């Protein structure tokens, strides 16, 4: 009965279908509340009520559905807390309740001894800390809790969750040192070389939190990553080991405070489609980025960059907003001044070869120079 144009509310009598194993009323125009009688369907394995206009709270007795494997309630107007009785759903594999108006904290009972593989609670009004045993069941593959108001540090069970392939936590108020949250807390002169055990991770978004300190170089070991967003308050240098992430298609390191230049090793990221390094860096843009022929979008605005931009379509066709706010970029982009090359002569007996230097000459200055030269030669 899914993907129709059903209106009205869910009948109370639905709870009398004692042998029902699957109830799919998703993608309709059903309104009203979820009747508590639904919780009498003890043989129910799949409950799909997503993409409707359901309101009210999730029934407190939802935990009576002991056979439930999949609970999909996303994209409704549900309010109130996530019921504590969810912890009784020991067989539950998928809990998908994103894009509602749920409030309160994520119950600490979620995790061990549950067998969750997918937990998506994004874009609600959830507060508090993440459950400490979130991945203690050892099966969690996808976890998204972005766009809530969650706080605190990452629980240890999540840092050591080897099964995770997708995690998204942006738009919260998490705190801590990213090197400690997703690595080992090693101190002294021994460098931090490990980033936990999340070796199958493909999607990592920790943006818009309060994470600080440096990016651990061991992030370069996560070679399956194709999306990485670390827009935070990070500092120090960008690890050259990020050049090992050859499957990476989206990289966002904006709004940090990196002290070094853009690594030349970024030219090895041949799968790049989107690169955002805005509000960050100083120095020159490596010419080697000209080799990123698949790059479609770049944003290097509001840095302290100077010199020529790479000879690359994404840079040369970038909008004004993507290049503005720098100290002296030049190149073929319509919003930039052209670069003028000057050769430094090799000194006698010196081992220093010719150097190419770039001057950025605004059009008005260039015109005055030409007029001056013409007047001089006319005399």
- Decide which of 289 and 187 is more confident: 289
φ/ψ (deg, to 5) at 275: -135, 120
The reported pLDDT for the residue numbered 371 is 53
Domain-located, residue 261: no
What is the per-residue pLDDT for 345?
Answer: 44
- Annotate 224-253 with b (16+ C-beta within 10 A) or e (fewer): ebbbbbbbbebeeebbebbbbbeebbbbbb
* Domain-embedded: residue 84: yes
What distance in Å separates the CA atoms of residue 24 and residue 267, rounded to the nearest whole number? Answer: 48
> pLDDT value at position 374?
52
Question: Looking at the domain assignment, is residue 289 inside a domain?
Answer: no
Percent of the chain with pLDDT over 90: 53
Please report whether residue 365 resides in a domain.
yes
Q: Which residues are CB-neighbours of 214 under 8 A, at least 6 positions away?
A: 178, 179, 234, 235, 236, 237, 239
What global pTM score does this model have? 0.67
- Of 356 and 229, the one with more pLDDT: 229
204 has a pLDDT exceeding 90: no
**Last-in-domain residue among 50, 82, 97:** 97
pLDDT at residue 142 in the model: 92
Is 32 a domain residue? yes
More confident residue, 107 or 6: 107
Convert the pLDDT of each residue in 70-116 to its tens digit.
999 999 999 999 999 999 999 999 999 999 999 999 999 998 778 89
- Output 280 or 54, whichever has higher pLDDT: 54
pLDDT band, residue 211 (cuts 50/70/90)? confident
pLDDT band, very low/low/confident/very high, at 301 (cuts 50, 70, 90): very high
* Domain around 21: 1-97
Specify the DSSP element, H or E, that contains 340.
strand 339-344
Pick the range with the lowest mean pLDDT from 168-172, 189-193, 208-212. Answer: 189-193
Kindly state whether residue 377 falls inside one of the protein's structural domains.
Answer: yes
- pLDDT on residue 101: 97
Q: Which of 264-273, 291-300, 321-330, 336-345 has the lowest mean pLDDT?
A: 336-345
**pLDDT for residue 3:** 56
- Residue 71 located in a structural domain: yes
Question: Across residues 220-234, what is the average pLDDT?
Answer: 87
Of the residues 72, 97, 122, the one at which a domain ends = 97
Is residue 312 scored above 50 in pLDDT?
yes
215 band by pLDDT with thresholds 50, 70 and 90: confident
Q: Is the pLDDT of residue 186 over 70?
A: no
CATH number, domain of 36, equals 3.80.10.10
DSSP state of 37: G
Last residue of a domain, one of 97, 126, 144: 97
Contact 179, 219 (CB under 8 A): no
pLDDT at position 346 over 60: no
pLDDT in tens, 28-78: 999 999 999 999 999 999 999 999 999 999 999 999 999 999 999 999 999
Q: Work out how many domains the chain is built from and give that number.
A: 2
Pairing of strands 355-360, 339-344: antiparallel
**Highest mean pLDDT (candidates 72-86, 242-256, 339-353):** 72-86
Is 344 domain-assigned? yes
Instruction: Give yes or no for a contact between 32 and 55, defined as CB atoms under 8 angstroms apart.
Output: yes
Give the residue-averaged pLDDT of 283-295.
92
Using one digit for the tens of pLDDT, what is the confidence trace for 11-20? 999 889 989 9
- Give the pLDDT band (50/70/90) at residue 218: confident
pLDDT at 155 over 50: yes
CB neighbour class for 263 (10 Å; exposed up to 12, middle 13-18, buried from 19): middle
Q: What is the dihedral of CA 179, 184, 188, 191, to 10 degrees?
A: -70
Return the pLDDT at 169: 87
| Mean pLDDT over the full length of the chain | 83
| 143 vs 193, more confident | 143
Residue 232 pLDDT class (50, 70, 90 cuts): confident
């Amino acid at each position: 009965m899914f993907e129709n144009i059903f209106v009205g509310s869910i009948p109370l009598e639905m709870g009398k279908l004692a042998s029902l194993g699957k109830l799919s009323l998703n993608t309709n125009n059903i309104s009203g509340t979820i009747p508590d009688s639904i919780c009498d369907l003890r043989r129910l394995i799949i409950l799909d009520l997503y993409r409707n206009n359901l309101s009210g709270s999730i029934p407190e007795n939802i935990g009576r559905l002991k056979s439930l494997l999949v609970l999909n309630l996303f994209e409704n107007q549900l309010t109130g807390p996530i019921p504590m009785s969810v912890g009784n759903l020991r067989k539950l594999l998928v809990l998908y309740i994103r894009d509602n108006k749920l409030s309160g904290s994520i119950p600490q009972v979620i995790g061990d001894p549950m067998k969750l593989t997918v937990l998506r609670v994004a874009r609600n009004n959830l507060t508090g800390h993440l459950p400490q045993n979130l991945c203690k069941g050892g099966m969690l593959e996808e976890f998204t809790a972005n766009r809530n108001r969650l706080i605190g540090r990452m629980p240890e069970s999540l840092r050591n969750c080897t099964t995770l392939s997708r995690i998204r936590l942006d738009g919260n108020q998490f705190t801590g040192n990213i090197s400690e949250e997703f690595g080992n807390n090693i101190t002294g002169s021994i460098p931090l070389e490990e980033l936990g055990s999340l070796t199958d991770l493909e999607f990592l978004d920790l943006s818009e939190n309060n994470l600080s300190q440096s990016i651990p170089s061991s992030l370069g070991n996560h070679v399956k990553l194709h999306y990485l967003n670390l827009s935070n308050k990070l500092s120090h240098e960008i690890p050259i080991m990020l050049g090992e992430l050859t499957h990476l298609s989206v990289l966002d390191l904006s709004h940090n405070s990196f002290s070094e230049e853009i690594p030349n090793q970024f030219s090895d990221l041949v799968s790049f489609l989107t690169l955002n390094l805005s509000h960050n860096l100083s120095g020159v843009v490596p010419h080697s980025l000209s080799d990123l022929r698949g790059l479609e979008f770049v944003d290097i605005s509001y840095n302290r960059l100077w010199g020529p931009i790479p000879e690359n379509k994404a840079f040369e066709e970038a909008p004004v907003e993507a290049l503005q706010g720098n100290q002296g970029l030049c190149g073929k982009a319509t919003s930039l001044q052209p670069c003028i090359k000057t050769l430094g002569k090799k000194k006698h007996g010196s081992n220093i070869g010719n150097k190419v230097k770039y001057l950025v000459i605004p059009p008005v200055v260039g015109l005055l120079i030409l007029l001056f030269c013409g007047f001089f030669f006319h005399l």
